[in-house]
Amino acid sequence: MRVLGIETSCDETGIAVYDDQQGLLSHQLYSQVKLHADYGGVVPELASRDHIRKIVPLIEKTLAEAHSSKDDIDGIAFTSGPGLIGALLVGSTVARGLAFAWNKPVIGVHHMEGHLLAPMLEETQAEYPFVALLVSGGHSLMVEVKGIGEYTLLGESIDDAVGEAFDKTAKIMGLDYPGGPRLAKLAEQGQAGVYRFPRPMTDRPGLDFSFSGLKTFAANTLRDSDKSAQTLANIAYAFQEAAVDTLVIKCKRALKQTGHKRLVIAGGVSANVFLREQLEELMKKLRGKVYYPRLEFCTDNGAMIAYAGCQRLKAGQAGSNIEIKPRWPLTELSALG
């Protein structure tokens, strides 16, 4: 089966063609970072309009690179949620329109399921069951995965997601948008041990996350500092160290609770080098293995949507309505059966 994937949940237009026999044939990604930089964050209306401008040319380019025409496509998958409602509508209407015109089945894909399955695009794939840490700008989830659609939510953020906390802390420190990656880069120049930030919610049982207080701690530390370049780097180091330590502690708990030896990490924050290093070290100690997608598939992309959609279309799942779900719990998804 060959599937065209469309991702428009936020500020990136991602298109891909995935074949279940040949793998990923082509993918294109257009980022709106420059468009939103002047505003310090994503402006939903501008994001929707830019998706409209870019989506059709990207589809044409992706199909050409995959040496595929509409006759070669067996199905279409699009992100139906969660995400920005206007952005989701763009991808949904284009996908439905193409499905009607080409007489192809179409399916709406859960954005976080796409992230969860993104590591399956790699040559080395995690076998089920495993624990998944899904960390992005809008979500921090710990999930037990027994199969596609067989998800048990172990923990989630009760306030700011870890990626959101990275971005907000970076903004407080005066770093340009997008702040998270810039803060991580600045942390490379920081010195260990200068500041000690709290590891939120690690002093109590459970697997939920809370990063809002960590952001506030960083703001208070910055306010009382001399704000020199080295001090900013030291604060960035301490913030990243605390955030990553918190995620590692929770992963260790989740693995112990479930008894699994395989850990999948996905989402934008999974590109963080320090986080990858610490999780690699953890899994070596536990005699397990950690899996994650290549860097280009950590952020939003069409490849993960094409892959996830392909699995569900092969199982006979397809829709007919232009249904989008800006809020959509991952646990509501059905198992492939």
Give the Cα separation of 64 and 68 in Å (integer). Answer: 6
139 is in an annotated binding site: no
138 is in an annotated binding site: yes
98 is in an annotated binding site: no
68 is in an annotated binding site: no
Give the Cα separation of 237 and 64 in Å (integer). Answer: 44
Q: Please name the helix (run of DSSP H) or strand (run of DSSP E) that holds residue 27, with its range, or none.
A: strand 23-31
Instruction: State CA 72 to chain mean position distance.
Output: 29
Rounded to 5 degrees, φ, ψ at 239 are -65, -50
300 is in an annotated binding site: yes
End-to-end CA distance of the chain: 19
| Sheet containing 23-31: order of strands | 23-31, 12-19, 2-7, 75-81, 106-110
Q: Is 4 helix (H, G, I), strand (E, B) or coil?
A: strand
309 is in an annotated binding site: no
User: Is residue 235 within 8 Å of residue 173, measured between CB atoms?
Assistant: yes
Give the Cα separation of 162 and 138 in Å (integer). Answer: 8
272 is in an annotated binding site: yes
Binding residues for Fe cation: 111, 115, 300
- Residues belonging to the binding site are 111, 115, 134-138, 167, 180, 272, 300
Residue stretches of the annotated binding site for substrate: 134-138, 167, 180, 272
